[in-house]
Chain A
Amino acid sequence: MPEILRLQSVSRRFGGLQALRDISLTVNKGEVIGLIGPNGAGKTTLVNVVTGVTPATGGAVVFDGEDITKVKTYRSARLGLSRTFQIVQPFAEFSALDNVAAAALFSKPGESLKAAREEARRHLAFVGLEAQAAQEAATLTLAMRKRLELAKALAMRPKLLFLDEVNAGLNSAEVERATALIHQLAADGITIVMIEHLMKVVLNVCSRIVVLHNGRLIADGQPRDVMTNPAVIEAYLGQQYAQRAGVHG
């Protein structure tokens, strides 16, 4: 399988805190990867580094053959990198339709507003929000706003899609619905890297799992192998013990 994304010894430091150390990772086209790890492991930071929100302080990021380590967020978005946010980021005053239209409009230079709105309708229908097209984004329920994020990300015609906890805060019926959508996207051939806490969803959807702990990559492989990896078990159990003792949190 040809590669779509390659991280070479990527590091990110915030003042005295080393949030990511020496991460090397290759993502191949068509994969669905689960990115897991205890809270504070650096998962969202990794996504931020790749998308240029907080650029890497060391190492290189290569996307689709192009070095994007220092490329600005809007540029990498136009190259086909898109993401959803753990905390949803809608344009609150816009209708659901215009939220998605904005994504279609600005990710492709030369697109007209009219064409973008038409395209947006398709993506809204895909995530099941066509009935809410005219509704102000701020008034949607959390589950709907999560799906709106997904529709926005899809409207950018991504080559690689990062999903940052799309299921957090959803009830089980909503989780099932979201999982079905992810399956469908994977079937359409979109490469996906998802940060997810629900192991049930990860095991159901992902063909490969990458584990971060304290800013380091500690495991990378088939779900079965990773889940029995001693380092992974220690990372999770160790944290549980720490939580019980009240060290964390």
Chain B
Amino acid sequence: MSRSNLILLALIACIAALPMFGGAYALRLGTIACMYAILALSWNVVGGLAGYPSFATAAFFGLGAYIGGVLLARGMPLAAAVPIAGIGSFLVAALLGAALLRLRGHYFAIASLSLIEVFREVVNNATDLTGGGMGLNIPLSASAGVMADATFFFYAMWSLLLVTAVMVMAVSLSKLGFGLSCIRQNETAANMVGLNTTLYKSIAFGLSACFVGSAGGIYAAWVHYIDPSDVFDILYSVKPIVMALIGGLGSPLGVTVGAFVYLGLEEVVWRNYIQIHSGVLGIIIVLLLLFLPHGLMSVGSWRWRRGMKNA
């Protein structure tokens, strides 16, 4: 266990204490922080470790939200709906990944971006199941009061973050992580030494989608109402990339810190520039890429220079 992984676990443990100090606003922020960290950590498996520029996060976030949402709306308990959302996302992603991950660079980016569009349109058109463009209401089975609900969903998201972080660490220490790293550095050579690159990339894509989809499921239950343009928002694809870039591509600790820093920026922008918040976010993204291309944590920078060359 490396030092940075231990720091990450400690950081996540500290977040668990949040409900003792904060009110409803802090809980909401904490829940989003955990969700963003899950998205960024998951993206990092494909984007950071395997070096494939995936813009598919929003597709699987939305897919998980709708799988979870539909099941919840039909009375299934959260404890069953979320894992099903995760497994469903895993399967869909692993199957699609086997085909899509044959593409490289720009073509893969475009294809992963298009997945959002396809999924959104499918959900939009499956009106009977999803409510289509009208959105989907997810009534809460039993409410124990505003604060109790907020605390509950905070811990739900936090637990998922913990599981995601442990998964990401396990992957990076395992044969799978070693193989993904080989693929990022030199896919031809990886094939030549007997590595089944298609299988590895599909598993990585599936794992990445699994936790994003689960987060979508919890999100759906938390906000009680989802519609296609909300959960299939391309921003859910771009934000994790920005977070990973802030933190320095590659290390789990880096991308998690990146997620928290990004949320902080986003929150400040929201509070001060409601009318033009997306424009200000755009400015932040542009400035970040222009002036901090190696991320806030310089330790991650070597990966960024070398590892992303083939992306």
Interface positions of A (Cβ within 8 A of B): 51, 53, 72-74, 77-78, 82-83, 85, 89-94, 98, 102-103, 105-108, 112-113, 138, 152, 155-156
Contacts and interface: CB of A to CB of B under 8 A. Distances in A.
B193 A103 contact: yes
8 contacts: A53-B192, A74-B192, A89-B188, A90-B186, A91-B186, A91-B190, A107-B194, A152-B193
A102 B193 contact: yes
B175 interface: yes
B271 interface: no
Interface in B175-213: 175, 178-179, 181-182, 185-186, 188-197
Contacts of B175: 105, 112-113
Interface residues of B, number: 22
Contact of A89 (B179, B186, B194, B306): B186
Contacts of B179: 102, 106
B307 A89 contact: no
A83 B196 CA distance: 17
Contacts of B197: 74
A113 B177 CA distance: 11
Contacts of A89: 186, 188-189, 192
Nearest to A91: B185
Nearest to B191: A73
Contacts of A77: 191-194
Contacts of B302: 93
B185 A94 contact: yes
A92 B194 contact: no
A113 B185 contact: no
B186 A92 contact: yes
Contacts of B174: 113
A93 B178 contact: no
B172 to A, nearest CB: 12
A38 B188 CA distance: 26
Given A93-B307, A102-B182, A106-B196, 6 more contacts: A89-B192, A91-B190, A98-B178, A102-B195, A106-B179, A106-B182
Nearest to B185: A91
A92 B185 contact: yes
B24 to A, nearest CB: 46
Given A156-B193, A156-B194, A105 B178 contact: yes
B60 to A, nearest CB: 27
Most buried by B among A92, A98, A155: A92
Q: When A and B form their complex, which 10 residue pairs have the shortest distance between CB atoms, in order from nearest?
A: A107-B194, A77-B194, A89-B189, A106-B195, A103-B193, A91-B185, A73-B191, A106-B194, A78-B194, A74-B196
A83 B188 CA distance: 12
Interface in B255-295: none
Contact of A90 (B178, B189, B194, B303): B189
A53 B190 CA distance: 12
A107 B193 contact: yes
A93 B85 CA distance: 36
A74 B306 CA distance: 25
Contact of A74 (B178, B186, B194, B307): B194
Nearest to A83: B192
B52 to A, nearest CB: 16
B185 A51 contact: no
Contacts of B306: 92-93, 138
B196 to A, nearest CB: 5
A91 B306 CA distance: 11
Contact of B178 (A51, A85, A92, A113): A113
Contacts of B190: 91, 102, 106
A73 B192 contact: yes
Given A92-B306, A113-B175, A106 B185 contact: no
Contacts of B196: 74, 106
Nearest to B178: A113
A51 B192 CA distance: 8
